Chain A
Amino acid sequence: GEDVEQSLFLSVREGDSSVINCTYTDSSSTYLYWYKQEPGAGLQLLTYIFSNMDMKQDQRLTVLLNKKDKHLSLRIADTQTGDSAIYFCAEGAGGSYIPTFGRGTSLIVHP
Chain B
Amino acid sequence: GAGVSQSPSNKVTEKGKDVELRCDPISGHTALYWYRQSLGQGLEFLIYFQGNSAPDKSGLPSDRFSAERTGGSVSTLTIQRTQQEDSAVYLCASSLGPEIYEQYFGPGTRLTVT
Contact = CB atoms under 8 A, between A and B. Distances in A.
B9 to A, nearest CB: 9
A24 interface: no
Interface in B43-98: 43, 45, 48, 50, 56, 59, 91, 93, 98
A53 to B, nearest CB: 13
Name the interface size band of chain A. Answer: 20 to 34
A38 to B, nearest CB: 10
A43 B91 contact: yes
Interface residues of B, number: 26
Contacts of B108: 41-42
B109 to A, nearest CB: 10
Given A42-B91, A43-B103, A45-B104, 6 more contacts: A41-B107, A41-B108, A42-B107, A92-B101, A98-B33, A103-B40
